[in-house]
Amino acid sequence: MATVSTKRINKELADLNKNPLAGLTIDVNEDNIYEWSGQIKAAADSPYKGGTYHFNLVFPKDFPFRAPAVTFKTKIYHPGFDEEGHICIPVLRDQWKPTVTIPAILRTIQDKLNNPSPEDPFDPEIAALLRDNKTKFLSTAKEWVKKYAQ
């Protein structure tokens, strides 16, 4: 018997298959629908252009009442990501609501990746560099794209 969470995950997956997001692919673990892996190709106008970023998305058993966990596997020089690949997005933390859709979360993650901001950072040092020396920030981000995201 399908649970509320598996029904919702299947619906979200069907929505993504019907309306895929440009620059983003999702693969569902064949043995466990609660585990997804994905890739985001950075936008052409992003500091991370040319990079492909791999991530895992794991749904809790009580989804949609708790947010999924998102962890990036590709290193990224970004103020909104920590060294372990966690992303700083309020909707995945304290602003989660059961009505939030997975396509909306994925669009938010894409936007966060492509548009780094010094606001609400996971890494205050990178945020300070972005704010105070954008040229150096962009240079370092570009180096990391070449080193980790190609």
Tokens of 141: 């981000």
Three-state DSSP class for 3? coil
**Residues with catalytic function:** 88
Whether 121 and 80 have beta carbons less than 8 Å apart is answered as: yes
Q: Residue 53 and residue 65: Cα distance in Å, rounded?
A: 27
Helix extents (H) in 19-133: 102-114, 124-132
Structural domain of 87:
4-149
pTM above 0.85, yes or no: yes
| Residue 80 CA, distance from chain mean position | 10
Q: What is the pLDDT of residues 24-78, one digit of tens each?
A: 999 999 999 999 999 999 999 999 999 999 999 999 999 999 999 999 999 999 9
First CA to last CA distance, the chain: 42
Query: For the domain that residue 64 is a member of, what is the CATH number?
Result: 3.10.110.10
What is the total count of domains within the chain? 1
Band (pLDDT 50/70/90 cuts) for residue 2 is: low
Letter for the amino acid at 89? I
